[in-house]
Amino acid sequence: MTTSISIFDTTLRDGTQGEGISLSADDKLKIAKKLDALGVHYIEGGNPGSNSKDIEFFQRVKSLNLQAKLTAFGSTRRKFSIAEQDASLVRIVESGVPAATLVGKSWDFHVHTALQTTLEENLAMIYDSFAFLKQKGLEAMYDAEHFFDGYKNNPEYALAALRKAQDAGADWLVLCDTNGGTLPGEIYEIVSRVRQELSAPIGIHTHNDCELAVANTLSAVQAGARQVQGTINGYGERCGNANLCSIIPNLQLKMNYSCLPDEKLRTLTGTARYISEIANVSMPVGQAYVGNAAFAHKGGIHVSAIMKDSKTYEHIAPELVGNKQRILVSELAGQSNIISKAQELGLDVNANNDKTKEIMDRIKDLEHQGYQFEGADASLELLLREAFGETNESIKVESFKMLMESSKGNMMSEAIVKLSVDGQPVYTAAEGNGPVNALDNALRKALIPFYPKLEEIHLSDYKVRVFDEKDATAAKVRVLIESTNSDNTWSTVGVSSNVIEASWEALIDSLRYALLGMRKSNNNVPSDSLDRIGLVNH
């Protein structure tokens, strides 16, 4: 029988302690719904009395009717006080949550230094707090803070802290590697000892300061832990928390534990990317399982092999976690890359086709000029479709102008664009806080009346790279633009010795690709709208 593992998500609490992450109450509600759809068992929402955002969240989240257990966070009672009168504990009960996590000290050094109290009083704080929660009918989890450091310093006291929580009725004893400095072998040995000493179920909560949070979590599960705590994309303080996007598929697909239903696991990539958008943090392209490059192939030999059998260079089928295989096309590519990418797009191409060699030579020439298609799939798809005659120009760019003005210390940009849509002239202008923003605004202003769905698209990333630095200010630049809507994210590229022109190319490709996506979705966009946004002149 497959062993089940409880998934405890603390993105909304521990994850928000990561640098650069700030979530509004609305953000937290959106993420909670997404986590619930993923199928995690616990969602830790934060401390219901610590700040106004969390107070609002716990009030509003009740209307979501989550299937996961919403969990409130707090700490054991204050020293030399009464649990029933502790404001933090009372707020947890009043929030109406079915479960609570209390953090308490298990390292004698912290008891003396941080709490500045006696070892005996700390044990009483743990016991009283959990007895109070259990009396109120809550499921209660003890986050034994700094447990592994505490165990290595004074194992008997660390175990005594766990025993007090267990005696008071705690449902889970969660062992925390709070400083993230413990090694997998130590985790396994210590968790095994805890399992021998105590009867309550064990959980594991690790941090990533040694890049070992995922490995330490897996070691703990092998030693008997049955609840894993972590965050989506590994968000968290300092180097982050254990990344559930790696832990869950590793446990389920590699180690034969049961974490989520298979159909839920297939939503993992979409969940990770959705939460990164809400958190406004770009995902690393090479992130395991859910990253954009997790199943990307560039070398011609690799591509040739996976076209025969994807298992040659993929450790799992990417669809199991909702990701997809990607074939990158670059100057390193052979015909296999071109064929695979074209076939993926439904284009009639094979190794003996003269068009294939022509396209490959064209791509290599463009990359020699500075284009980089391995990071710009959308521009590549447009290039391939254009080569196969799948374009029909109806909109043409007549011209565009840029004006820059400095007034009272503020720099403003104005873009003026002149287009032709089915022979109908469109002339418009828009301002922006920079030339690229102004161009983007002007294009949208011109085109949204014809294609309202373009209003849903926004730029999520913008990168400029200078190459041929020896040419100084005359050097070419490559601009990569990442765009997104509610369903998809895509990247486009432009190259020029003029950064505005390079940005213009990438912007145009972004909108061309968006219209292509609308056509695929049967959103009543005319079939010739793929290239209704002018020529890019790659």
337-367 confidence digits (pLDDT tens): 566 667 666 666 665 567 667 777 787 788 7
Q: Which residue has the higher pLDDT, 22 or 392?
A: 22
HSE on the CB side for 124, CA within 13 Å?
Answer: 11
Report if residue 381 sits inside a domain.
no
Residues 402 and 486 occupy one common structural domain: yes
Residues 325 and 241 occupy one common structural domain: no
Is the separation of the CB atoms in 43 and 32 below 8 Å? yes
Total number of domains in the chain: 3
Contacts by 462-466 with C-beta closer than 8 Å and gap 24+? 462/436, 462/503, 464/499, 464/502
pLDDT at residue 525 above 60?
no
* Residue 429 lies in domain: 395-531
Residue burial 132-150, b: 16+ Cβ < 10 Å; e: rest: bbeeeebbbbbbbbbbbbb
Residues 31 and 171 occupy one common structural domain: yes
Task: Read off the pLDDT of each residue in 294-316 and give the average, rounded to a whole number.
Answer: 78
pLDDT at residue 445 above 80?
yes
Between CA 414 and CA 394 the distance in angstroms is 26
Bridge partners of 8, per DSSP, are 42, 229
Residues 96 and 227 occupy one common structural domain: yes
Residues 78 and 196 occupy one common structural domain: yes
pLDDT at residue 167 above 50?
yes
Between CA 468 and CA 476 the distance in angstroms is 7
Residues 44-89 pLDDT 10s: 999 997 788 899 999 999 999 999 999 999 999 999 999 999 999 9
Give the best-scoring range by mean pLDDT among 184-198, 291-305, 392-406: 184-198
Task: Read off the pLDDT of each residue in 223-238 and give the average, rounded to a whole number.
Answer: 97
Report if residue 378 sits inside a domain.
no
Report if residue 379 sits inside a domain.
no
Task: Kindly tell me the sign of the dihedral angle through the C-alpha atoms of 19, 89, 175, 34.
Answer: negative
Domain boundary among 354, 369, 384: 369
CB atoms within 10 A of CB 377: 22
Strands 395-407 and 326-327 come out as: unpaired
Task: Read off the pLDDT of each residue in 505-512 and give the average, rounded to a whole number.
Answer: 87
CATH number for 462: 3.30.160.270
pTM of the model: 0.70
Output the pLDDT for position 385. Answer: 80
Report if residue 202 sits inside a domain.
yes
Output the pLDDT for position 182. Answer: 98
Instruction: Give the pair of three-digit tokens for residue 92.
Output: 């947890």
Contacts by 470-476 with C-beta closer than 8 Å and gap 24+? 471/497, 476/369, 476/370
Residue with tokens 């959308």: 378
Instruction: Give the pair of three-digit tokens for residue 193.
Output: 């000892």
CATH number for 265: 3.20.20.70
Task: Read off the pLDDT of each residue in 182-206 and give the average, rounded to a whole number.
Answer: 98
Residues 270 and 205 occupy one common structural domain: yes
- Cα angle 321, 327, 329; round to 5: 150
Output the pLDDT for position 392. Answer: 57
3-state SS, residue 103: strand
Residues 59 and 142 occupy one common structural domain: yes
Is the separation of the CB atoms in 481 and 462 below 8 Å? yes
> Residue 300 burial (CB < 10 Å; 0-12/13-18/19+)?
middle
Residues 132 and 61 occupy one common structural domain: yes
Q: Report the share of the chain in percent with pLDDT over 90.
A: 55
Output the pLDDT for position 523. Answer: 45
Report if residue 447 sits inside a domain.
yes
Residues 314 and 443 occupy one common structural domain: no
Domain boundary among 221, 249, 279: 279
Residues 311 and 445 occupy one common structural domain: no
Report if residue 288 sits inside a domain.
no
Report if residue 207 sits inside a domain.
yes
Output the pLDDT for position 152. Answer: 97
Q: Which residue has the higher pLDDT, 500 or 393?
A: 500
Q: What is the DSSP string of 267-326?
A: THHHHHHHHHHHHT-PPPTT-TTTSTTTTEE-SHHHHHHHHH-GGGT-SS-GGGGT---E
* Single-letter residue type at 352: N
Q: How far is CA 69 from CA 104, 232, 388, in A?
A: 21, 17, 53
Residues 260 and 312 occupy one common structural domain: no
Residues 325 and 423 occupy one common structural domain: no
> Residue 106 burial (CB < 10 Å; 0-12/13-18/19+)?
buried
Contacts by 402-406 with C-beta closer than 8 Å and gap 24+? 402/435, 402/438, 402/439, 402/500, 404/435
HSE on the CB side for 352, CA within 13 Å?
Answer: 0
Report if residue 230 sits inside a domain.
yes
